[in-house]
Amino acid sequence: MSTDGKKSRNHFERACGPWWRIWLPGGSIAGGTNRDCSGPKQAEQALQEGRQLLRKGQSEAAVQRFEQALAGLHEQQDVVGQARALNGLGAAFNYLGNYKKAADYFQQSLDLSRQAKARSEEATALNGLGEYNRHIAKYNQAIEYYKLSAQIARESGDRQSESRAMVNLGKAYHRLGRTDESVASIQKGLSIARELNDAQRELAALSELGLVYGILGYFDKSIEYQLQSLALAEKQKC
């Protein structure tokens, strides 16, 4: 069995239990199960639940749901759906601090996204690979991934992904001491986030701007952005 086949088999077994049935790459068939993980509605539901769990900070539970979704979407030969599930797994393992494993999932998603010409998922996967490189202090590589992610998101009209990539690009510039570029990138991401009413991305941008301006010695601006960040955080609690 190929490496991809083993990965898909492992995903399905973790999601659906030891007795399952799936057509594997290379034409092999295995097992059987009483639990239906393969229907389109079930797979989509698992994907949505994974995203909801991730937003709630329940990353380990999200991993299980994304794995279940991936297994079902693989059986349906839904390439775009698999790319979404793999991006979800990448995000979950990022939150869990397992950056190498996250990068593996993002790379798999990138390959499938390009195969299916799924531009939004491609932008998400590139952003995830940028995150991996930023976490391991390979900032120049991270910048290239973020730039490409932002470009693809812009071209495909995915404004949310563009905002995310621009804020992350600013963080990478900041780590290299390229403060002017950092501020410009984060401001762009902030502007898009406000257009979209994306509070999560707006919070990330405001916090980073407060940090950058503080390091530059512009304390009034730093305090201004930090206060905006605190006010928005309090608003989100209401």
- Count the domains in the chain: 2
Residue 238 pLDDT: 57
* Domain annotation covers residue 79: yes
Taking CA atoms, 217 is separated from 2, 179, 188, in Å, by 55, 12, 22
Domain limit, last residue, from 84, 117, 150: 117
Residue 9 pLDDT: 43
Domain limit, last residue, from 80, 96, 117: 117
For residue 117, count other CB atoms closer than 10 A to its CB: 10
Tokens linked to 124: 């998400």
CB 9 within 8 A of CB 17: no
Structure confidence by residue, pLDDT tens digits, 108-157? 999 999 999 999 999 999 999 999 999 999 999 999 999 999 999 999 99
pLDDT at 2 exceeding the cut of 70: no
Question: Kind and range of the H or E element at 45?
Answer: helix 40-55
Taking CA atoms, 52 is separated from 56, 57, 170, in Å, by 6, 9, 27
pLDDT at 36 exceeding the cut of 80: no
Q: Which has the higher per-residue pLDDT, 90 or 36?
A: 90
- What CATH number did the domain enclosing 71 receive? 1.25.40.10
Q: Which of 153, 97, 96, 95 is nearest to 124 (CA)?
A: 153
Residues 99 and 208 both lie in one domain: no
Residue 236 pLDDT: 83
* Domain annotation covers residue 158: yes
**Confidence band (pLDDT; 50, 70, 90) for 30?**
very low
Structure confidence by residue, pLDDT tens digits, 39-83? 778 999 999 999 999 999 999 999 999 999 999 999 999 999 999
Domain limit, last residue, from 64, 83, 117: 117
* Domain annotation covers residue 33: no
81: domain range?
1-27+38-117
* Domain annotation covers residue 32: no
Tokens linked to 217: 């010695």
